[in-house]
Structure formats: C-alpha cells, structure tokens
Amino acid sequence: MGIQIAVDSVRTLFVEMYWEHQLLASGTGFHYVCDGNAYFVTAWHNVAGRNAESGDYLSKHSVEPTSIRIHDRVVGAASTDLLGVRDLAVVDNDGNPRWFEHPERMADVVALPIDADPAFRAVPWEADSPETTRNRLWVTEEVSIVGYPYGLRGGANLPIWIRGTIASEPLIPFQNRPLFLVDSRTRTGQSGSPVLLFYPPGTQVPIHDRNEVGYRYETTPVSRLIGVYSGRINAESDLGYVWTVDALDTVCREGVPGSYDPPLKSMWR
C-alpha cells in the first residue's frame, strides 16, 4: 500500500509575492472553480502588498507585488514533492490589479482568474459541491487552518495543519462583514489558507442534515471547506479572521476589479 495523505494537503499551495524579480513575501492559496470559471484564491493583502486595515506597505521596499509564484503540483509526478512554478501576473500592463474582490470592498480575500495549464494537476475546490456546502457551524467547533507559517513546508513540500476553534458565532457576521473569528496559533505566511472541517477515517462525524442530528462513523476522510483565513486581528492576539465560503462565492460571482483601497480600514473605528 502506498503512502496515503489528505487530498487537502495537495490542494493547498505555497505562494510567493514578487515585485519584478524581487521576492517580497510568501503566503498560501488554493485553486477554486465557480460557475465553470477557474480562480486562484488568496488574501487581498498578499496581492496588494498593503496592510488590509491601514493601507501601509507590507514590504520594506514600499512596492506592491507585480506577480505571484504558485508552487503547483506537476501532472504525472510520481511523488507529491515534485513541484513546478506558475508565475501569475497580479497587475496588467498599465499597473491595474487583475484580481476580483468583494463588491462592497469589505473582505481580505481575492480571486485571481487563472487559465488551465496541462502541465499542472490543479485540484480545486468547487463552489456548491458537497465539499463546500455546509448547513451548520457551531461556536467552539474545531477547525484546521492549512498553510505555510513562516514559509515552512512539511515533508514532500506539503503544508502545515494548525488546529483552532470557532470563536465567534459563525452564522452572525462579525463587525457586519461576512466573516467569523477563530482562536488559533497562526503566524505570518498562513494568510490565504483554506479553513476546513476535517475528520480522519474512523472518527465520529456529525450529521449536518437539517432534518437529522447525530453522528456516524466514516471509513474515509471527510472534509469541508468553510472559509479563507487572512490573519490575526492584531499581533498580540490569537484570534484570526475567516472569510466565509459565501463571501468567496460572492467575490467570484459578483466581484469588482481590484483596488489598493484597504478592505478593513473601518473595522475597529
């Protein structure tokens, strides 16, 4: 029997932000398909290169990224650690952002259109699939934030899984925005991480049908994408932002062209 790994580890990708040929920072992202359109999803501040609340530059060079480098999986690779890189422009030839963001410019999450490349085996999440559809979430429920803290990669260049718990009522928008808080020891580099409900084989899995409450045992892993992580509320706190899948779908379906206007500028005022 070969080595078995969680498919969500393969789906979660290391990404680097560049200004011309200068590496600025690293983060996390993933492929997402919505209504037949393919996107690369990550945090707004990753592609904008600015603090999502103050608008200040994140890089000491005081520049915004011009491209991102996605460390993607190669088709036909015999090993999961065989990666190739895909360079994706985040601005057009006139310097205008290529990403889409929330129509009310209120979410630290973006969707970058991306073309299919036969050299890579993108494993996207898909909108409205069982893996992204969830009827209930509960405060204190355990979640996994899958990404690359400090740019750290595990064996076979796979991401690091960090546990957390839902800290604010997930069905009530926090600060009137499509997000909830998690309590977790996350660090820089995890912005853009998928946030999952994940159940290993043999564990009791809650039944979340609206008409049924209970548990069942599953013989295979069960996971649900419930949001996109974009960082802590401040450097002193372990509370972090998770933008809901509904917010992500809104970005993909109703998104407006990107800007450098910080989406969190009025969060705490």
Domain architecture of the chain: domains with CATH: 7-257 (2.40.10.120)
> Residue 57 carries which side chain, given as an amino acid letter?
Y
At 77 the pLDDT is 57
Higher pLDDT, 145 or 222: 145
> Under a CB-based contact definition with an 8 Å cutoff, are residues 183 and 193 in contact?
no
**CA–CA separation, 140 and 36 (whole Å):** 34
**230-250: average pLDDT:** 95
Note the pLDDT tens digit of each residue in 218-236. 667 788 999 999 999 998 9
The separation between the first and the last C-alpha atoms of the chain, rounded to the nearest angstrom, is: 56
Confidence class of residue 105 from pLDDT cuts 50, 70 and 90? Answer: very high
> Under a CB-based contact definition with an 8 Å cutoff, are residues 52 and 59 in contact?
no
Question: Is pLDDT above 50 for 55?
Answer: yes
Owner of token pair 């999952």: 196
Owner of token pair 């990669």: 153
Question: Is pLDDT above 60 for 17?
Answer: yes
At 1 the pLDDT is 44
Query: Mean pLDDT, the chain, as a whole number?
Result: 90
Pairing state of beta strands 194-199 and 110-113? unpaired
Widest distance between CA atoms in the chain: 56
**167-185: average pLDDT:** 95
Note the pLDDT tens digit of each residue in 106-135. 999 999 999 988 778 788 999 999 888 766
**CA–CA separation, 15 and 23 (whole Å):** 11
33-47, 194-208, 255-269: least confidently modelled range: 194-208
Confidence class of residue 145 from pLDDT cuts 50, 70 and 90? Answer: very high
At 201 the pLDDT is 78
At 121 the pLDDT is 79
Question: Is pLDDT above 60 for 269?
Answer: no
**3-32: average pLDDT:** 93
40-49, 219-228, 232-241: least confidently modelled range: 219-228
pTM of the model: 0.92
At 232 the pLDDT is 95
> Under a CB-based contact definition with an 8 Å cutoff, are residues 28 and 190 in contact?
yes
**145-156: average pLDDT:** 92
Confidence class of residue 151 from pLDDT cuts 50, 70 and 90? Answer: very high
**12-33: average pLDDT:** 96
CA proximity to 98, closest of 227, 260, 225: 260
Note the pLDDT tens digit of each residue in 67-86. 999 999 887 655 555 678 99
Percentage of the residues of the chain whose pLDDT score is greater than 90: 71
